[in-house]
Amino acid sequence: MAPLYAGYAFRLTSRTDHGVRRYDDEYHRAIDLGVASEAKYNEFVAKLKGAGSDKIIAEMQKQIDAWKITK
């Protein structure tokens, strides 16, 4: 069975991801390894939101919805 979104590729239409990537680079290793405290995780999420992650998620959903119409 093929993955649900096989063939879909997200295309970022602006540079809003710069801050998000910076914070991902800073925090993801500790979070992935499970050694980040809940406070550090919450700090990470707050920084992502401040850097525009909600805009990126909205753009991704818009692209997925448009892509699904073609399938």
pTM: 0.71
**What is the CB neighbour count within 10 angstroms for residue 52?**
18
* Integer Cα distance of 52 and 64 in angstroms: 19
Residue 30 confidence (pLDDT)? 93
Average pLDDT for residues 23-30, to the nearest whole number? 88
Report in angstroms the alpha-carbon separations of 35 from 14, 30, 32, 51: 33, 5, 8, 23
Average pLDDT for residues 45-70, to the nearest whole number? 91
Average pLDDT for residues 65-71, to the nearest whole number? 89
The structural domains of the chain, with segments of one domain joined by +, span 17-69
The most confident of the ranges 5-9, 13-17, 59-63 is 59-63
